[in-house]
Amino acid sequence: MAEAKGNSPRVLDVGQCNFDHPRITRFLAEHFGAEVDRAHTKDDALRLVKKERYDLVLVNRLLDVDQTPGLDVIRAVKEDAASAEIPVMLVSNYPEAQQEAVEAGAEPGFGKAEFDREETVQRLAAVLR
């Protein structure tokens, strides 16, 4: 998607802790040449998706700073006409959380334990290439 526009893919990473955010950033940069911005809260994320162009929004199951459910962020992004078309994925190892996210309008996501899986790279490639 982003390469067709002639730009590096841009990803907004929402609610990750200080350990996981750099891991996700490195993974996305190495595999897709992506530029990654960070949002700590739902309000930060909504402000950024209105202001910037993103090819993907990754949302943690529970936001690290305030424990807001990631589903709240996904629903807010998908309900806003200005951001509804942006692909969103939940970062969670829990299948039931992934199912709820898909039902809320997200693409099938992945868990932090699944970085090394080819399926994860393929899921992201469908959105970022």
- Contact indicator for 96, 88 with CB cutoff of 8 Å: no
**Structural tokens at position 125:** 């490639």
Q: What is the dihedral sign for C-alpha 116, 119, 120, 124?
A: positive
Q: Which residues of the chain are modeled with pLDDT < 70? A: 1-6
The residue type of 58 is: L
pTM for this prediction: 0.93
Spatial CB neighbours of 34, under 8 Å, sequence gap ≥ 6: 2, 8, 9, 10, 11, 28, 55, 128
**Which residue ranges make up each domain of the chain?**
3-128
Q: Which fold has domain 3-128?
A: Rossmann fold (3.40.50)
Identify the pLDDT of residue 6: 55
